[in-house]
Amino acid sequence: MESAVFDQRSCELGEGALWHPARAELFWFDIPARRLLSRGAAGARERTLPVRASAAAILGTNRLLLGATGGLLWLDLESGSTGVVAGFPDDGGLVTNDGRADPWGGFWISRMAPDETRGAGEIWRWRQGRFRRVAAGLTIPNAICFDRPRGRAYFADTTRHTVMVQEVDAEGWPKGEASVFLDLSASGAWPDGAVTDASGNLWIALWGAGTVACHDPDGQLIRTEHFSARQVSCPAFGGAHFDTLFVTSAFEGLMNEERARDPFAGMTFVRRLNEANRTAQGRAEPVLRLDGSGHSG
């Protein structure tokens, strides 16, 4: 099945895809360019951000939470104004990467060294006004997503070709040590952004392979979707019935000859999943509240 281009604007590093149901609009970042892009019923928009940002959560119809350099910001989508929600407890010269709201009222955001120093990466969780580091010793932390019925969080270290699973308690805080969920080193696959569907299956973009792989909660590969750019980066479910898969991509690191062979690099793709007797059902991302009461969805 051929992938369709959802948006032709080319991103050096497209990431952080997020479907906003109330607006029927997809948001995503071009991280190095400090751009927040979107496309919905009203067409395409582009917002220039005051700082580098890489992940978002829904705060309301007209507001997003941004994981950004220095901490968390709110963004008003109508006025473009921003404000500080919380700063990281330390700076460390790190930049944000992957992130996502969890279904227990928190927001997870990863950070890494700009030069990808081995072991400098980490993941923080913010909930009810408090930041806490939940993983460390990573290099390129990615694939943050959640399975509420099973009490799980997932994350990856791209350079180690490994996806981890972390058991969490009733408030979404890690309990015990994370364990290996997928070891992709034999295939050489680079796990990037990921999301779970309504059945708890993990859909993960494989950077360099041009695919999004779907694994069941036991880790078995059950489906692979191919796209027209090698460096796919982050999937998101959306559409009126959450049966549509959106996928960002990147042209980062590609020389002129490589870009000529990969003409769709950096574009964002779309695919209807419930076709040819193959079904999949996504789900809405949680809506966060800043008043300390957690999520509302």
Known catalytic residues are 192
Instruction: Report the candidate in 195, 230, 232, 244 with the shortest Cα–Cα distance to residue 215.
Output: 195
Q: Read off the tokens for 73.
A: 């910001």
Q: Read off the tokens for 292.
A: 């300390």
Amino acid at site 60: G
Cβ contact 10:267 at 8 Å: yes
Q: Collect all residues with Cβ–Cβ distance below 8 Å to 6 and sequence separation of at least 6.
A: 26, 39, 246, 267, 268, 269, 270
Instruction: Report the candidate in 202, 174, 214, 206 with the shortest Cα–Cα distance to residue 188.
Output: 206
3-state secondary structure of 30: strand
Instruction: Report the candidate in 294, 296, 289, 297 with the shortest Cα–Cα distance to residue 63.
Output: 289
- Rounded-to-10 torsion of CA 261, 264, 270, 276: -30
**Helical H runs in the chain?**
256-261
For the chain, the residue count is 297
| The three-state (H, E, C) secondary structure of 197-229, written as one string | CCCCCEEEEEECCCEEEEECCCCCEEEEEECCC
